[in-house]
Amino acid sequence: MQEFERKQLLERVEREGATVGADIPETIEVQGEPVELQEFVFEIKRRDTVPSGERDRVERAKRNLRRERIERKQRIEDGDITFAEGERLVESIVGIDRALNALESLGPTDLEREAAAQEAADQKRWMSFLKQALGREDAGGRGRL
């Protein structure tokens, strides 16, 4: 594959609207094992909320999909592959992105959890700031005694 073709393929992977109209692959090989990706995503999306037992499964699936996406993109960047192989990889990456988008946009339960996590992180940063600010004041005051 020529370098300009490689750049063209990589640009397609990173394009903002790449997943618009893209299909989630029926089956995809992730970490060497076949996964019924389309069925999994549709099964999870059918529910109003994701039960706590399923959240771990969904999070694990998202992590594995992200890892697989990185590996496939790396094959395009570094691998000695043909343009046709690169196109197949791009299509699979776009399908993975589509599945990830669907899994990321799961109902209000995940949004509530994300908001709570964000609030906790904000409080932690604020407390850290206060401790740091108060610690500096105390250190400066002790030198005067």
| CA distance from start to end of the chain | 74
Q: Confirm if 22 and 95 have CB atoms less than 8 A apart.
A: yes
CA distances from 99 to 2, 8, 43, 93, 103 (A): 30, 23, 12, 10, 6
- Asked whether residue 102 falls in the same domain as residue 83, the answer is yes
More confident residue, 71 or 45: 71
The pTM for the full model equals: 0.65
pLDDT for res 141: 46
Residue 20 has pLDDT above 80, yes or no: no
Confidence at 67, pLDDT banded by 50, 70, 90: very high
How many structural domains compose the chain?
A: 2
> What's the domain range around 120?
108-145
Q: Are residues 47 and 9 in the same domain?
A: yes
User: Per-residue pLDDT tens for 71-110?
Assistant: 999 999 987 899 999 999 999 999 889 888 888 876 544 4
Residues 78, 10 within the same domain: yes
Q: Distance between CA atoms of 60 and 104, rounded to whole angstroms?
A: 12
Same domain, 101 and 113: no
pLDDT more than 90, % of the chain: 12
